[in-house]
Chain A
């Protein structure tokens, strides 16, 4: 079955650590997106990539980094510069397909 796989489902990070969230798709879609969800705020765009080896900042890119070395993969790194990283992170592809999300908690 085609789809988007995000891992892990739950992730705990200590203060000052970088962590990487995985997003893999087998839909053969060109564009991939990372969104952050906070209670009462809907979803906000962090980064997006239209093609391999190219990506652009979204509305809230500070403290995050991405790479797009393969069409299928678009990992998101939450760096120690992100002041409030606790949130639900969702990966999406073009045509509006979403993964099941990763819940990141800072401990």
Chain B
């Protein structure tokens, strides 16, 4: 089974400084990887997705992530944090279900705090 590990449960940055949210994955084959964002009491919004095309994936709101097979990592970055980026972020791997189809396996989340 696939799995993901988010290395930091909480990250705090100042507005205007870079953001780095770390994710490592475990996979027996080439995975599909995702980053989602969740604001309080809201559903999940897809930020970006890697599906074995370009290793540097650009997403919405200025976020991007780089797939590094040698390091089994898929870290999320943004050059300059904005107050509206404060939320919880989930790294996700797509796993194959018995009987066909895919399920999403979630990391435990990273809470991003942005300070003035």
Contacts and interface: CB of A to CB of B under 8 A. Distances in A.
Interface of A: 4, 6, 31, 33, 35, 40-45, 48, 50, 56, 58, 88, 90, 92, 94, 96-101, 103
Interface of B: 9, 34, 36, 41-46, 49, 90, 92, 97-104, 106-109
Given A50-B99, A96-B49, A98-B45, 19 more contacts: A4-B43, A31-B102, A35-B104, A40-B109, A41-B108, A42-B109, A43-B90, A43-B106, A45-B103, A50-B101, A56-B97, A56-B98, A58-B103, A88-B41, A90-B44, A96-B92, A100-B42, A100-B43, A101-B43
- Classify the interface of chain A: helix, strand, loop or mixed: strand
Contacts, number: 58
Contacts of A88: 41
11 contacts: A4-B43, A41-B108, A43-B106, A56-B98, A94-B101, A96-B49, A97-B46, A98-B43, A100-B42, A100-B43, A101-B42
A42 B107 contact: yes
A6 B36 CA distance: 19
Contacts of B101: 31, 48, 50, 94
A48 B103 contact: yes
A98 B101 CA distance: 17
A44 B31 CA distance: 19
Contact of B104 (A4, A43, A99): A43
Nearest to A31: B101
Contacts of B46: 96-97
B41 A98 contact: no
B100 A50 contact: yes
Contacts of A58: 103
